[in-house]
Amino acid sequence: MPATTDDPIATAAEAIGLKRRVVEPPVATATAEAHAPDVVSENWRAWIPPGWPEPADEDLIGRDELLARVLKRGVDLTARTLQLWENQGIVPRPVRRWHDGAVRALYAPWVADIVEVVAYRRRGPGRWSVDDTRKDARDRVAGAIFTHGMNQWDGKPIPVELCRQLQELARVQERVKGATVPVVEIRFLDAEDRSVADLRIRLDAAPG
Per-residue pLDDT at 125 exceeds 60? yes
Please give the distance of CA 73 from its chain centroid, rounded to a whole number.
18
Residues 173/128, Cβ–Cβ less than 8 Å: no
The span from the CA of 8 to the CA of 171, in Å, is 84
pLDDT, tens digit, for every residue of 16-46?
A: 454 444 434 444 333 333 343 456 679 999 9
Residue burial 110-139, b: 16+ Cβ < 10 Å; e: rest: bbbbbbbbbbbbbeeeeebeeeebbebbee
pLDDT, tens digit, for every residue of 53-85?
A: 788 888 899 999 999 999 988 899 999 999 999
Model confidence, pTM? 0.57
